[in-house]
Amino acid sequence: MKNEECFSAPVESFMDDFDFGENLARFDKAAVFEEIDAMKDGPPF
User: What are residue 27's phi and psi, to 5 degrees?
Assistant: -140, 100
Size of the site for other proteins (CB under 8 A): 24
- Does position 41 interact with other proteins (CB under 8 A)? The reply is no
Helical segments of the chain, H only: 2-7, 20-24, 29-39
- Does position 18 interact with other proteins (CB under 8 A)? The reply is yes
Contact 14, 8 (CB under 8 A): no
- Does position 31 interact with other proteins (CB under 8 A)? The reply is no
Contacts with other proteins by CB under 8 A lie at 2-3, 5-7, 9, 11, 13-21, 23-24, 26-27, 29, 32-33, 36
